[in-house]
Structure 1
Amino acid sequence: MAKQYWIGEFFVDLSRNQITQNKQPQLVAPKALAVLTCLAEKQGKVVSQNTLLSEVWPDTIVSPNSLQRSIAQLRKALGDDGKGQIYIKTHSKQGYSLECNVRWQPESQTDLHAKPILPECQNKIGHLEKNNDVPTKLLNWRTTLTFLFITLALSSLIGIRYATSDESQLFSVGEIRALTASDGREFASIYSPDGKYIIFHRFSMEECVNNIWAKNLETQQEYKLTEDIDSYGTHSFSPDGKQLVFIRTMDCEQPTTQKKCYQLISMDFKKALREPQPMNVLLECKTSEIRLPHWLKNNDIALLHRESTRSQLISYSPKDKQSKVLYQVDNGNIIYYDYSVKDDLFSVISIHKDSKHYVEILDSNGELISSNPIVFTPDSERKKYLVANFSPIENHLIFSTGRQFFTLSYNGEVKNISIPLDQPTFSPNFHPDGERALVIKGNYDSDIAVIPMNHLRSEQLSVNSHIIDRSAVAEDTAIAEPIGNLIAFSSNRSGNEQIWLKGNQPLVQLTKFPIDSYISGMHWDERGESILANVNNKLVQVHINGEQQHYTTPHLILELLHWHRASDKVLTFANIRGVQKLTEYDLKTSQFKVVTDKRINWADKTNNGLLVYTDNMDRFWLVDGIDAEPITALDNQGGDNKRFIIKDSTIYGMNNELELWSYNLINQHFNTLGSLPSNTINIDDIDKENVLITVRIASKKEVVEIVLKE
């Protein structure tokens, strides 16, 4: 059977799940297209409901409602309101028929601009609309002229609004304005369904928790919605705008498989505008994780649900207190999803078994409409996690890599668009009118400090006196040269994240990576001649003279954990079919192996090859040969997903009380070395008698609204 055919002036492409008219494609669910194809194969004849159900849903028991929904989708795509029944006719108690002639497209021909047949259904349209006193030819001319006039008028309006059909012109920004301006850190902002309010989180740097706030865009008045400060996640409105739903993360009272528990919370929004409201717990997860709630049109709540290492898209009914799986990827994983209230569609970003990113469009029941691999441009690949949201551009999502924005079509095509923002931003959330959007814009300020260990017990410790080279931007991942006095670290001080060297001489920028690059892990070789870094999910060896050697790996590298230069073995977190796994990569032979399938928080190796890792309960394990043995002396010393490092045979780590400790694997001796500054983010390296740490100076994030040009 041909995969493409014409129904009047509509071009049906089964391979793309599209119906196209006048170069304007519409995505249609595969089952609906299968119904249309069954009718097309028997054009002009009545096809019974039982026949359609058995052919389209073989070996599946479904109700006639499924068929009726498909017919409604088809009529909408064909511009048929169902009353005139121009294309698809209902025969009471019998079935349906396709009343329009069909022209099947040869498989070798894919030109959808070929002249379509304008058959009897087109004449029926004329018959329904014409005055009997008007001659048919004159009517046809008037219809043609009217069509041309409307087309020209629409083209003019589109030209005025968008200038061209190119996506870079669709996002011509007319104004950028800040909506929040406190000393706090604001993020996770959305519009209310009526567009009158924005909802956002205000974060406390001292307590590392947040409250949920609302702001009236007309009066500029702000409202604190939650009674208590806590750890809240992203939020969503009910379709009527009366309820707000969000995720609360907290420590499990009796952890079994994970330390954190998750609650789905709802709140009366109107009441919260008068005074902070208590939380209504809809759902609690103690052995799995839920995130990204979206309230659906049918009043169910969609969630991304993770058990073990893989995520699935589910819907939860607060009324029935039941959940069901909407979509999951076989031998792959879902990375992110968004929901369009306007179109009642899901967009899903996933990684499949071929390790490629896919963009997938689902209907509200989770039925797959389209699935296409994403064709990244070189500059759009520089993104750790692809967060793509629905946009006003038809059949397009939008995402950010930092200071660059990109459109992502439902077919997987990526294009760069220009938005004049000088600081990294998160992907935008659009106003219901599509004319403006919210982004989170700001700057994170952290520095590298080198502190002698004998100073850690001093009550007079001042971290400011130990910062190696102060800047007002993010700096981290400091590593000390093994046999010299150089310190390498990553910094944004030149506008993009680069590797810098600090020694007795002035500061030196070692690399010139492109815009929106990011570095996840660096290690010196044993001779201090080069640095291996994970840059944009790829391993790059950077020599002191600036020369670079790039390595090709079969999977994306999420984090570089350890590099043993003598054997050229690299310990990494790698993205394998959308799941983070602990892996080892041989730079010489290009061999790649998974070390363990367990969910790992962090890992490192001793000089003689012993592996130490922490699991998702922050317990330490030592792997000597095949078996992994728990290091019970380090129970409760792992902190909340904190990093550790190994020097020779000694582990150095930081607990939740910000105490630096050491544990010798040979004599099994544990020692508390002293207290680190309260603004310590990570311990980066141990340099003889010094500890290199990343300290937080400030974090400024604010909600910004971008207004598109008319």
Structure 2
Amino acid sequence: MAVKYWVGDFFVDLSRNQVTQKQQSQTIAPKALAVLTYLAENQGKVVSYDELFTKVWPDTVVTPNTLQRSIAQLRKVLGEDSQYQSYIKTHTKQGYSLECEVRWQDKIDAQLLFEQELLLKSDKIEPKITQDNSFPHIPIESPHIESSRSESSGIESTSIRDSDAENKPQSALSWLTLIASIILAIISTIYFIQPQPFKLSVGELRSVTATDNKEFGGIYSPDGEYIVFLRYSEKLCVDSNLWAKHTKTQKEIQLTKNMARYGTPSFSKDGKKLVFIKTENCSQPVTQKQCYKLMTLDFEQALKTAQSPNLLMACKNSRIRKPTWLNNNNVALLQKISNRWKLASYSIVDNKSTVIYSLEDGNLIDYDYSVKDDLIALTSIHNDGLNYIETLKPNGEIISSHLIEYPPEIAKFRFLYPNFTPMNEQLIFSTGRQLFGLSYQGKITNISLPLDAPMGSPIFHPDGKRMLVIKGNWDSDIATISLSRITKTQADQFITREDENYSIIARSNIAEYDAQYQPNGDLIAFKSDRSGEDQLWITDGNSPLQLTHFLIDSRIDGHDWAVDGKSILVNANNVLTQVALASTQNSKQDSTEESFPFDHSIEQLFHWNSEDNTALITARIKGILTFGEFNLNNSEFRVITDKKVNWALKSEDGRLIYTDQMDRFWQPGPAEDQLIESLEHQGSDQRFITKNNVLYGINEQFQLWSYDLNGNTFKILGNTPINVDYLTDTNQVDILLSIRISAKKEVAELYLKD
């Protein structure tokens, strides 16, 4: 079956789950598109409800409302409703039919190739251009044409054979020959000239920092002699020092005197200095808890003895990241103000910044800079909600801007972080265990087989024969601790792994997160990377079982049980999917899945009320994170607040509680949201949970606390492990935690084959 076809004037691309008309694209749920495709395959015929259920939802029990929602979504996209049925017609108590012209891509391509093959044998030249290249249909009378190739020049030429040619004026023949040549050239350009694929073959992988430490943020020096990277502390994996390693002698040198929260560095063009971000707690936070400082380090001096970095610029009310030294000695960086990122250029000489590029109705994702070409490549989200690749000069001059064409193996909402390569107009990026090439025109090419471990986007060595990557996994476990054990700890005593009631219930050598008790059941659902990418797993306390099978390099950002404990709503690859537990046989857990269409990327699922089928989420709308409530029945989204929300839940009686970017607790009031003053300074990155209208949380001193919403009473219950990542659930007897074990990260090099 073709993956592209036309329904009337609408172009359907199954590989991207999109329907396009007049250059306006809409993303459609895969199941809805499957319904449309099956109707298209049976164009003009009545397809029964049962036939559609069997074809689109095989071996799955779904309600009639599921099919009706898909039909309603399709009609909305096609610009019709239940009364005006020019495309999809309802046949009462029978089924549906598609009542318009359907054209299949493979048949159109075959016809085009057939016509081109006969072009040199026909008396008419009639180039037919598809909707992808809207070129007018031009019939031109012409004499018979043959194609030949000059042996001396290798250039294709044409000759004319016609029985009456000698009697025709030479000017007419020349004119016809010219027109025919032009048309042939147009056809060749459109149909035969294809972009060259990104060819890259990896020969071997070599470790650069094979130690017990954790290393991140590796870059090459401009001359290629050194690799500079961040080496993190063993305890919290927050503070780091900058280190350098000579690529030939393998000698390692500590560059900074004291550990701090440093970001990935960037070299000046001459290789003499480094620039990077230092993050620290604000002494008097106003709009954010973290302050950001742009720092510089004398690399040549640091190679001799460790140095203290120098401050260039401080930001207390905005966030800055990814500083990059430009050829003009300015520093480019991304700066976030009022939820939007802009690309700025900071002048060290003038001590001021100017905007290079920003989007008023979109947002920036990432960028890279080519010293060789003095060019910036930038990924962004435009006002249509889609991702683009732009190239621009450091002065802001736009060179090109193209929609990124996502292949089926990459989730449609996934952010891309590409870097420059030595290849002409080609970038490279990683989705974890896969490498891809990205052209300046937005074309993506898979350039390698899946890797054995997740890796960051490669950075090329100046010689172009090897690439620097960060590889490895986070290692965290699911732990349970009794509340009574926590309340017995003293103020200066923390729970350790050796404690009697500190039990690990899900353990692997990679990440296990977000465990939740099954309502009215004995199972625990959690997210795990143990199969290679994020999947939902369940356990009864003994052997874990994989519940979902999302595509490679998938990401899960939130899940929640239904009240009856029979299904789970999961945010996988920025799309909400309900996973129903069907039955358990022979220790194998079966499940069925149903996705819910939404035009925007869902970044985080916080809470699901399965009774009214609404979910608390943050959605990325025109590039901006927006907190609100999503109705799964009709796909409507209601904005709740314009604040940046870190975490949110609803209590059993329906009260909304959320934390902002300052980790302050809020709940809606009669006129405006009200601050919960009793919880001031109790918020942290460890989130919070609710049970029977009681909030539980962990503060920055790793103390577990409770707050009764009905009695407005606050208590410190006791201490938790200092390596806790998240507090995830409680049954009021035990609590569930994600416990950080280690971060197995290292710098490595990919060597290319000749």
Q: Which of the five TM-score ranges fits, normalised by the shorter chain?
A: 0.7 to 0.9
1:201 to 217, 220, 230: 230
- The equivalent residue for 1:709 is 753
Separation of aligned partners in 1, 2:659 and 2:566: 31
Q: Does 1:174 align with 2:211?
A: no
- The equivalent residue for 1:45 is none
CA change 1:503–1:300 in 2 (3 A) is same
Equivalent pair of 1:382/1:518 in contact (CA under 8 Å): no
- The equivalent residue for 1:321 is 351
Shift of 1:382: 6.9
Shift of 1:493: 2.2
Shift of 1:141: 12
Separation of aligned partners in 2, 1:257 and 1:490: 32
Shift of 1:494: 2.6
Tell me which amino acid in the other structure corresponds to 2:706. Answer: S
- Write the mapping of 1:267-666 to structure 2, written as runs, cut at 5 A: 267-381=297-411, 384-419=414-449, 421-456=451-486, 457-458=488-489, 461-463=495-497, 465-503=502-540, 506-545=543-582, 546-639=591-684, 641-666=685-710
Shift of 1:110: 12
Separation of aligned partners in 2, 1:492 and 1:315: 39
Separation of aligned partners in 1, 2:213 and 2:542: 38
Q: Does 1:256 align with 2:286?
A: yes
SS of structure 1 residue aligned to 2:678: helix
Separation of aligned partners in 1, 2:744 and 2:543: 29
1:189 to 204, 207, 218: 218
What does the per-residue CA deviation read over 1:402-422, in whole Å, with 9 as the maximum and x for residues that have no partner? 101111111111121215630
SS of structure 1 residue aligned to 2:505: coil
Separation of aligned partners in 2, 1:396 and 1:647: 52
Separation of aligned partners in 2, 1:276 and 1:695: 34
Separation of aligned partners in 1, 2:312 and 2:405: 39
Separation of aligned partners in 2, 1:408 and 1:648: 50
Equivalent pair of 2:413/2:601 in contact (CA under 8 Å): no
Separation of aligned partners in 1, 2:286 and 2:506: 44
- Write the mapping of 1:691-710 to structure 2, written as runs, cut at 5 A: 691-710=735-754
CA change 1:637–1:572 in 2 (3 A) is same
Shift of 1:667: 0.6
Shift of 1:235: 1.1
SS of structure 2 residue aligned to 1:582: strand
CA change 1:418–1:110 in 2 (3 A) is farther
Separation of aligned partners in 2, 1:110 and 1:285: 59
> What percentage of residue pairs aligned between the two structures are identical?
46
Shift of 1:165: 8.3
Structure 1 unaligned residues grouped into runs of 5+: 1-105, 112-139, 147-163
What does the per-residue CA deviation read over 1:572-614, in whole Å, with 9 as the maximum and x for residues that have no partner? 1111111211121001121112211112222111223222111
**Which region of structure 1 is more displaced relative to structure 2, 687-696 or 390-399?**
390-399
- The equivalent residue for 2:51 is none
SS of structure 1 residue aligned to 2:522: coil
Separation of aligned partners in 2, 1:415 and 1:646: 46
SS of structure 2 residue aligned to 1:663: strand
Shift of 1:496: 3.0
Tell me which amino acid in the other structure corresponds to 2:331. Answer: I
Shift of 1:625: 4.8
Tell me which amino acid in the other structure corresponds to 1:488. Answer: A
CA change 1:272–1:621 in 2 (3 A) is same
Separation of aligned partners in 1, 2:283 and 2:505: 41
Shift of 1:319: 0.7
Separation of aligned partners in 2, 1:623 and 1:460: 35
SS of structure 1 residue aligned to 2:506: coil
Separation of aligned partners in 1, 2:521 and 2:436: 43
- The equivalent residue for 1:116 is none
Separation of aligned partners in 1, 2:359 and 2:413: 22
Equivalent pair of 1:173/1:419 in contact (CA under 8 Å): no
- The equivalent residue for 2:267 is 237
Separation of aligned partners in 1, 2:134 and 2:638: 43
Separation of aligned partners in 1, 2:594 and 2:385: 24
- The equivalent residue for 2:254 is 224
Tell me which amino acid in the other structure corresponds to 2:752. Answer: L
Separation of aligned partners in 2, 1:439 and 1:603: 35
Tell me which amino acid in the other structure corresponds to 2:393. Answer: D
CA change 1:110–1:429 in 2 (3 A) is farther
Equivalent pair of 2:506/2:512 in contact (CA under 8 Å): no
Q: Does 1:688 align with 2:732?
A: yes
Separation of aligned partners in 2, 1:415 and 1:172: 13
Tell me which amino acid in the other structure corresponds to 1:682. Answer: Y
Separation of aligned partners in 2, 1:110 and 1:673: 77
CA change 1:504–1:350 in 2 (3 A) is closer
Shift of 1:109: 7.7
What do you get for the CA RMSD once the two structures are aligned? 2.3
Shift of 1:219: 0.8
Separation of aligned partners in 1, 2:299 and 2:472: 28
Shift of 1:642: 3.4
CA change 1:603–1:469 in 2 (3 A) is closer
- Write the mapping of 1:123-162 to structure 2, written as runs, cut at 5 A: none
Shift of 1:392: 2.1
Separation of aligned partners in 1, 2:483 and 2:134: 73
Tell me which amino acid in the other structure corresponds to 2:372. Answer: K
Equivalent pair of 1:382/1:517 in contact (CA under 8 Å): no
Separation of aligned partners in 2, 1:368 and 1:460: 55
Separation of aligned partners in 1, 2:151 and 2:546: 70
CA change 1:384–1:204 in 2 (3 A) is farther
CA change 1:318–1:527 in 2 (3 A) is same
Shift of 1:385: 3.4
Separation of aligned partners in 2, 1:166 and 1:370: 18
- The equivalent residue for 1:89 is none
Equivalent pair of 1:610/1:624 in contact (CA under 8 Å): no
Separation of aligned partners in 2, 1:392 and 1:250: 37
Shift of 1:426: 0.5
Tell me which amino acid in the other structure corresponds to 2:272. Answer: K
Separation of aligned partners in 2, 1:308 and 1:504: 45
Tell me which amino acid in the other structure corresponds to 1:574. Answer: A
Equivalent pair of 2:668/2:674 in contact (CA under 8 Å): yes
Separation of aligned partners in 2, 1:110 and 1:299: 53
CA change 1:290–1:505 in 2 (3 A) is closer
Aligned residues: 557
Separation of aligned partners in 1, 2:204 and 2:547: 37
**Which region of structure 1 is more displaced relative to structure 2, 595-604 or 498-507?**
498-507
What does the per-residue CA deviation read over 1:446-483, in whole Å, with 9 as the maximum and x for residues that have no partner? 11011111111346955465001322121111010111
CA change 1:704–1:460 in 2 (3 A) is closer
Structure 2 unaligned residues grouped into runs of 5+: 1-132, 139-149, 156-193, 583-590
